[in-house]
Structure 1
């Protein structure tokens, strides 16, 4: 970040260099060098994080600094949002119009990334949150039927309501939305990170419809009701594989 003067304006300029040699220039001009916008610009620049993108367009390396900062500060809601954002980046086929990760995309999640996410959540929550905590709850449920197992898990970590809410746009689902979660350390073990789809995404599907969505109303109902049962079984199977891989690596070392 550097400053320069030109005529009546004063500028802050940032040059961002990509490994391929391309340079991105960000520039903001001010009539007054004490303009509050200057601090805002500097704050934005300081918060920038960059993932490494491969030749095929897939994310090769994730920048976890923002997630770590949120977790260190106990900003659980921000950390939950950042975690979902990271998972979406790691799924190359997810829908950019209506972001959600479905069960058939779980295999694309690399164990290395799941292990890093889990380690960060486990460390800064003292083992209360993270995939290890969720996996322990999941394994304690000796239920064969996958839908019932997902529902029991939802009850255990309080992702489900005791009773469905009446008169909601998404029917009578027992599954809570992100606005109903507990973003403190008073929540049950395994409560975070959440595996649902943002309520803003669901509302946009119902309001806008059409764009990238064959039948948005039906899709919104599915996401708010049945999706988690399918997703949780696939996701926990992947977590099980990745945690086992990690345990084997630690034993060999």
Structure 2
């Protein structure tokens, strides 16, 4: 523990000198983050409970908790997300739980079909496909929705998601970063790039993540499916 504290403060001191405090703080935080699970089967009992209660917001947060160790290794959500690290069996089990609980309204397979449709409409423009996808599943802001954060712009933040029965098809699971993390980043002291980093997480990250994620979802769901626990 003492070595961890020394290493952490060493990174922060170094960052103050070099002007890269945001990255240093992320690295210190990541030292306490769990490594990606070594088994491809997870305990989905908490998720199943939320889904059975139709608590979509809590189920969404639990789904991200399960997937984050693979997507954001060592807790680093400023680096490009890596959805191809997610074992196919995990995606298959999560998808089945979401689809069954929502009667086909939510789930990765539902989203993947929508992605395939918008990608075929924008075969040479990935950014346009991502925007069209966000519009379809209700993750983007309409003209009548002001941005309460001044950094979110086109994409809704976690607290703005629609957990009602009228939510658009494919609205969950969400692929963004929870607002608590973004808010903590923006409130860090002596950080010259925090706003820029937050704008990346709430903007360009979607353009990077969505195409890779749903290409992988299409591959993962095509394999033999397991029985979820």
Q: Between the two structures, name the one with larger relative contact order (CA 8 Å, sep ≥ 6).
A: 2
Quote the RMSD (CA, aligned, Å): 2.4
How has the CA–CA distance of structure 1 residues 153 and 192 changed in structure 2, closer, same or farther, with 3 Å as cutoff? same
Matched, 1:152 2:132: yes
Equivalent of residue 94 in structure 2, options 117, 124, 148: 117
Deviation at 1:94, TM superposition (A): 4.1
Q: Does 1:62 align with 2:42?
A: yes
State the distance in 1 between where 2:147 and 2:93 align.
Answer: 39
8 Å contact 1:88–1:101 — kept in the other structure?
no
Larger proportion of strand: 1
Count residues with an aligned counterpart. 187
- 1:230 aligned to 181, 197, 208, which one? 208
Instruction: Calculate the TM-score normalised by the size of structure 2.
Output: 0.74
Question: In structure 2, what is the Cα distance between the partners aligned to 1:138 and 1:116?
Answer: 20
SS at match of 1:208: coil
TM-score normalized by the length of structure 1: 0.67
C-alpha contact (below 8 Å) 2:112/2:214 kept by paired residues: yes
- Partner of residue 170 from structure 1, selected from 151, 155, 178: 151
For the residue of structure 1 that corresponds to 2:75, the secondary structure is: coil
Within 5 A, what are the aligned runs for 1:1-253? 57-59=35-37, 60=39, 61-91=41-71, 93-95=73-75, 100=77, 103-141=80-118, 142=120, 143-144=122-123, 145-163=125-143, 165=146, 168-170=149-151, 173-208=153-188, 215-246=193-224
Residue-by-residue CA offset, 1:66-91 (whole Å, 9 max, x unaligned): 00000001111100000010011334
Which ranges of 4 or more aligned residues in structure 1 deviate by more than 6 Å? none
Structure whose alpha-carbon radius of gyration is higher: 1
> 2:155 aligns to what SS in structure 1?
coil
Is the contact between residue 102 and residue 231 of structure 1 (CA under 8 Å) also seen in structure 2? no
| Structure with greater proportional helix content | 2
| Residue in structure 2 matched with residue 18 of structure 1 by the alignment | none
**In structure 2, the residue corresponding to 1:179 is in which secondary structure?**
helix
Contact kept? 1:87, 1:109, Cα under 8 Å: yes
User: Which whole-Å CA distance do the structure 2 matches of 1:115 and 1:90 have between them?
Assistant: 15
Aligned-residue offset at 1:209: 5.1
Distance in 2, Cα, partners of 1:196 & 1:166: 16
1:207–1:92 CA distance, 2 compared to 1 (3 A): closer
Residue 102 of structure 1 contacts residue 227 of structure 1 at CA under 8 Å; is this kept in 2? Answer: no
Q: Which residue of 2 aligns with 1:38?
A: none
* 1:237 to 1:58, Cα distance in 2 relative to 1, 3 A: same
Q: Distance in 2 between matches of 1:160 and 1:92?
A: 23
